[in-house]
Amino acid sequence: MKKFQAQPGFVVQAFRFALDPNAAQEHALRSHCGAARAAYNWAVGWVEASWWQRRAEESYGIPEADLTPWRPWSLPALRKAFNEAKHTDPRFCGWWEDNSKEAYSTGLANASAAFDNYAKSKRGKRKGRAVGMPRFKAKRKARLACRFTTGTIRVEAGGRHVTLPRLGAIRVHESTVKLLVRVQSGTARILSATVRHERGRWFVSFQTEVKRDLVRVARPDTAVGIDLGIKTLAVMADSAGEIREVPNPRHLATALTELRRASRVVSRRRGSDRRTGQKPSRRWEKANAARNRVHHRVANLREDALHQLTTSVAAEYGTVVIEDLNVAGMVKNRRLARHITDAGFGEIRRRLDYKVKRNGCRIVAADRWYPSSKTCSGCGVVKAKLPLHIRTFHCDVCGLVIDRDANAALNLAALSAAAVAGTAVGGDQGAQAPKPRGADRKTRTTRPRLTAGTGRAGGATLPHQRQQETRDRTQAEALTLW
């Protein structure tokens, strides 16, 4: 599918609303999402059939030129093949006309993207973990989602209904005025709509092209460093020296007692058993719905808190400096995994990325190996070790005593000066490639140089000019401009 390019002065933005469909509309929504899953499974099976056929023919010694030709997985090819097969395939006969063509196009597009990701990963052209061959989606596990790109897609004038192809007008749970006003004034254009079932209810997301003017932040010349943690969700220190702490709401930890009680009730009901074909009882379904409501409430509270935090930061500072945390590696610690996922470190960084850029500001990501906690924010001396249980930073050179997280936030805020100067930007020419496993990223201890013949550290501290050069060099090695 061709990626949309916004016009100059316009940005692509999503508007998401909760739906309140009636029984017939909910059945139609589930039918469309099921049709997308069926089309995806058909495309995966149709493409892989030629792969297995070629492998079987090779085992019989058939030459390469006489093997069954490869079946393409591009979206146009899949659409053409599906349109020919839907009339005769017993999996679609009798019901495929009940849904919009966009439902089947959604499944085919997802299958095409899955094969593209597999091919790029196989050739080493895709970043991240290796991607395997696409697999069939199970009915009991697949997420319900369907995308509409053509047809009647609009927000009704009353602000309480949306219209989708083949589904008609569906009532929304909340007002759509924020999108309706933009569409009526000509500053927004709806490109597509995606319906999705999550957290126990249906949502619709409109992908729109919106004319958005840059909003001047409250302090455009001020940079802020954000240090994320578990005890305190975020410690923010700006370039003016002001330090502010954001407490960790711990939504999941607060709801654990209620969640354990709900889980015990579910375990004492008769659930489903796939081995014997046993159906869950009504009491189990009722108890499971009550447990799911606890999970949904925790997720909603966390999402709201993270939106408030990131929106306030993006509306105040001109430069935001954050850490490049290895969240996937951090959650492998079984003692901290639940607390880290409850805080949402990765989601904070993702939302700051697009919200800061939306206001025309800059976001800087400190290198993953930058010793923000071990570096003294006063003189720049770097400690060799600083265990996690030590929450107060004591500098052995200048005598600074400061909270560990506040010290890290001050060091992150200081990195913005190097970013303005243009030093150590990711991709600089002449930069040496790191050694395997980060062997060249070991923290080096910075010690004051002894003055010759005096036996003391040059007046107990480094000269001001050499000290500043040391700090700039350390920051230049660790900084990456996002």
The residues annotated as belonging to the active site are 227, 323, 405
The DSSP code sequence of 308-352 is HHHHHHHTTEEEEEEE---HHHHTTSTTTHHHHHHHTHHHHHHHH
- Within 10 angstroms of residue 394's Cβ, the number of other Cβ atoms is 13
- d(C-alpha 241, C-alpha 218), whole Å: 17
Instruction: Count Cα neighbours of 283 within 13 Å in the Cβ-side half-sphere.
Output: 6
DSSP per position, 115-166 = HHHHHHHHTT-S-SS------PPPTTTS--EEEE-SS--EE-TTSSEEEETT
Report the alpha-carbon distance of residue 95 to residue 336 in Å, rounded: 49
Q: Residue 424 and residue 91: Cα distance in Å, rounded?
A: 57
Where do we find the tokens 């409109």?
A: 206
Structure tokens at 351: 């939302």
Q: Compute the distance between CA of residue 189 and CA of residue 192 in angstroms, rounded to an integer.
A: 9
Amino acid at site 295: H
106 touches 14 (CB < 8 A): no
CA pair distance 421, 112, nearest whole angstrom = 44
Widest CA span in the chain: 96
Contact 375, 411 (CB under 8 A): yes
DSSP bridge partners of 219: 317
CA angle at 116 for the pair 111 and 117, rounded to the nearest 5°: 100
Please state, in angstroms and rounded to a whole number, the distance separating the CA atoms of residues 115 and 93.
26
Taking the CA atoms of residue 280, residue 285, residue 287 and residue 292 in that order, the dihedral angle to the nearest 10 degrees is 120
List CB contacts of 300: < 8 A, sequence separation 6 or more. Answer: 199
Intra-chain end-to-end CA distance of the chain, in Å: 27
Q: Are strands 317-323 and 219-228 parallel, antiparallel or unpaired?
A: parallel
Give the number of other Cβ atoms within 10 Å of residue 278's Cβ.
11
Nearest-5° Cα angle at 208, 202 to 214: 125
